[in-house]
Structure 1
Amino acid sequence: MPTTSLSHYNLRADREQMEVLKEFYCEYVGLQVGARPALQSFGYWLYAGIEAVLHLSEMRVGEQRQTMLKTSFDHVAFNCTDHPAMLHKLQQAGIAYKMAQIPASEGFPIQHQIFFNDPLGNGIELNFV
């Protein structure tokens, strides 16, 4: 029963924060709001092409998110196109970022990476081959 791919990841927030996250991931990561099954909770599914990769879910009644929780999560990574346009977009918005370049090696082309955080501090990596 091997794993074949990553399906999606989920961020939980109140409705106000969820709207901020939705707008941010659509504007600065290039995801798009798409179809979502008829669920009882409020939320969004954000798509990269035809794949629903990010689910934004409303916190449950009485749920409190632990913001100082120690975790090993660092970032989520997306494959992207148009590196110069993304840099320009982040610069125009004043979003702090770091860049890295992974040199070519056997079986792997040169890869440019941009790292930044969403409005709630979750790490994002954008990869450009």
Structure 2
Amino acid sequence: MPLGALNHFTVYTVDLARTRDFWRDVMGLTDGDRPPLGFPGHWMYSAGAPTVHLVGPREGDDGKPARRTQPTGQLDHIAFSATGLAEMRERLRRHDIPFREMVVPRDGQTQLFFHDPDGVGIELNFTASEAGS
């Protein structure tokens, strides 16, 4: 049984509003419909799909996100294909988000690496045709 496309990933946030604002204002996702799950959160949509699920602190967590201290393995970062390299560089600078830029040898795509407010590693991949922007 082969896997399909990635459905979503979940981030346990320290500051739910701040993390929602990052994924909306910096990453360009939209805050959309979410079932009444009984705990605070947001579903952030990309191209009509709820791609990033944000979970806020739950009652009794003492302000700390649920499962924040439990290991989740060796996950290093989440990568997205993206467009608008020049605009994204400017957005990151405007929001004072440090980033590292790299051009992949041979195929010439440009990659931007940075972190969300909760330390989740993000990689954005832009085609070689955007490298001059």
Q: Same fold (TM over 0.5)?
A: yes
- Which runs of no fewer than 5 residues in structure 1 stay unpaired? none
Within 5 Å, give how 1:70-109 maps onto structure 2.
71-104=73-106, 109=107
Q: Say if 2:100 is the partner of 1:112.
A: no
Which residue of structure 2 aligns with residue 66 of structure 1? 69
Which residue of structure 1 aligns with residue 7 of structure 2? 7
Alpha-carbon distance in structure 2 between the residues aligned to 1:37 and 1:70? 25
Which residue of structure 1 aligns with residue 25 of structure 2? 27
Alpha-carbon distance in structure 2 between the residues aligned to 1:39 and 1:91? 35
Give the deviation of 1:101 after TM superposition. Answer: 1.2
Read off the aligned partner of 2:124 and give its amino acid letter: L
8 A contact 2:30–2:45 mirrored in 1: yes
**Runs (4+) off by over 6 Å:** none
Identical pairs, percent: 34
- Which runs of no fewer than 5 residues in structure 2 stay unpaired? 128-133
Give the deviation of 1:122 after TM superposition. Answer: 1.2
Alpha-carbon distance in structure 2 between the residues aligned to 1:60 and 1:42? 7
In angstroms, what is the RMSD of aligned CA positions?
2.0
Alpha-carbon distance in structure 2 between the residues aligned to 1:91 and 1:42? 30
Over 3 Å counting, the alpha-carbon distance change for 1:89 and 1:13 in structure 2 is closer
Alpha-carbon distance in structure 1 between the residues aligned to 2:40 and 2:82? 28
Q: 1 or 2, which has the higher strand percentage?
A: 1
- SS of the residue aligned with 2:125? strand
**Equivalent position to 1:52, from 37, 50, 53:** 50
